[in-house]
Amino acid sequence: MSDCLFCKIAAGEIPSRKLYEDDLCLAFYDIEPQAPVHFLVIPKQHIASAAEVDAGNSALVAHLFEVIAKLAKEQGIGSFRVVSNVGEQAGQSVPHLHFHVLAGRDMTWPPG
Ligand code: 5GP
Ligand code: ZN
C-alpha cells in the first residue's frame, strides 16, 4: 500500500535499524523501545492487522513466528513477549500487521 509506513520501511523507502530480512519479512528495532530489547517483525506484504489473517496468508504468519523464534535464539533471549495490537482501542497505531518482540525486563500481567 503506497501510503503505509511499514510498507515503505519494508521497501527500504524509509530507513530502519534492520535485524533480519528475507523475501517475505523484515525485522527491525522499534523507534520508541518499550523494553531493553524491542523489535518488530512484519510481512513485506500489506496485511492490515491480525484480524485479517486467513487461509490465504496464514503460512506467511507462521513464517513470521519461525523468524521470531530464530531471532530470539540468536539474541539469547529465552524469555520474551510477543504482542500484536489490533485496532485503536488495543493501541494499534500502524495499520500493517506487526509483531512486537519485547525482552530484557520483567513484564507485568495483565498488560495495561
Ligand atoms: P502499534 O502501536 O501499532 O502496536 O506499534 C507500532 C510501533 O511502531 C510503535 O511501537 C512505534 O514506536 C513503532 N514505529 C512507529 N513509527 C516507526 C518508524 O518510523 N520506525 C520504527 N522503527 N518504528 C516505528
Ligand atoms: Zn503496509
Nearest ligand, CA of residue 8? 2
Residue pLDDT tens, the chain, 112 long: 789 999 999 999 999 999 999 999 999 999 999 999 999 999 999 999 999 999 999 999 999 999 999 999 999 999 999 999 999 999 999 999 999 999 999 999 999 8
Of 35, 38, 40, 29, the C-alpha closest to 106 is: 35
Longest dimension (CA), the chain: 38
User: CA-to-CA distance for 81 and 74, rounded, in angstroms?
Assistant: 16
* Nearest-angstrom CA–CA distance, 14 and 77: 28
Q: Is the pTM of this model over 0.75?
A: yes
Residue nearest to atom 8 of ligand 1 (CA): 30
Q: Does the annotation count 96 as an active-site position?
A: no
Alpha helices in the chain (DSSP H): 5-10, 58-75
With a 6 Å cutoff on the Cβ, whether 53 touches ligand 1 is no
Where do we find the cell 535485524? 19
From the CA of 43, the nearest ligand is 2
